[in-house]
């Protein structure tokens, strides 16, 4: 028979998940327009979630191009709620600037990783989709993915 004060209620099962992002090529798509990627995560029940992880982007342009800035951007939209943009989910994954002149031959660009870290409160299960957009005159623009890319999104129910 348990003694007074020894009862421990069962611990709730944590609501957590993660998914690896697949590479998504933005280069053939319209510049400065948001495009749906195939990547989604489903938050399985009502509550507040911390969505975290990291996304990696790659952007380059010809060194001879005179456009100054290039970039890859991401954001999450709530598909279940009709495509509403998830607050605080916007990220610049990779961006570069150069002098407004021809700086030679070859490519000019960068690969970079940006943290994902936002909270999202939902009244019911929701599916979030990653969107991507490229800016500037690019010859390569992508969200890098795959198991060795560093692009991973996690979620944890916190309330």
- The total of other beta-carbon atoms located within 10 Å of residue 142's CB is 22
Whether residue 8 lies inside any domain: the answer is no
* pLDDT confidence band for 57 (50 / 70 / 90): very high
Q: Which residues constitute the domain of residue 85?
A: 17-141+148-157
Q: How many alpha carbons lie under 13 Å from residue 135 in its C-beta half-sphere?
A: 14
Residues 24, 26, 27, 28, Cα dihedral to 10°: 100
Q: pLDDT by residue (tens digit) across 103-135?
A: 566 677 888 999 999 999 999 999 999 999 999
Q: Global pTM? A: 0.86
Query: In the predicted model, what is the mean pLDDT of residues 30-58?
Result: 96
Asked whether residue 10 is assigned to any structural domain, the reply reads no
Whether the CA torsion 90, 156, 57, 36 is positive or negative: it is negative
Residue at 133 is within a domain: yes
* CATH number for the domain that contains residue 153: 2.60.120
Task: Give pLDDT tens digits for 67-97.
Answer: 668 899 999 999 999 999 999 999 999 888 7
Count of domains forming the chain = 1
Number of Cβ within a 10 Å radius of residue 22:
15
With respect to residue 9, please indicate whether it lies within any of the assigned structural domains.
no
In a domain, 11, yes or no: no
Residue 12 inside a domain? The answer is: no
């Amino acid at each position: 028979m348990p003694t007074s004060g020894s009862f421990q209620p069962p611990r709730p099962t944590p609501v957590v998940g993660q998914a690896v992002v697949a590479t998504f090529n933005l280069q053939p798509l319209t510049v400065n327009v948001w495009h749906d990627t195939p990547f989604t995560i489903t938050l399985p029940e009502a509550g507040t979630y911390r969505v975290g992880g990291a996304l990696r982007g790659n952007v380059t342009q010809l060194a001879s191009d005179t456009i100054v800035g290039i970039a890859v951007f991401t954001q999450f939209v709530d598909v279940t709620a009709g495509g509403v943009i998830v607050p605080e989910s916007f990220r610049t994954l990779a961006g570069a600037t150069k002098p407004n002149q021809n700086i030679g031959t070859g490519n000019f660009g960068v690969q970079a990783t940006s943290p994902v870290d936002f909270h999202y409160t939902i009244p019911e299960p929701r599916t979030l989709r990653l969107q991507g957009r490229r800016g500037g005159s690019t010859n390569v623009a992508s969200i890098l993915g795959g198991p060795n890319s560093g692009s991973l999104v996690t979620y944890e129910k916190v309330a």
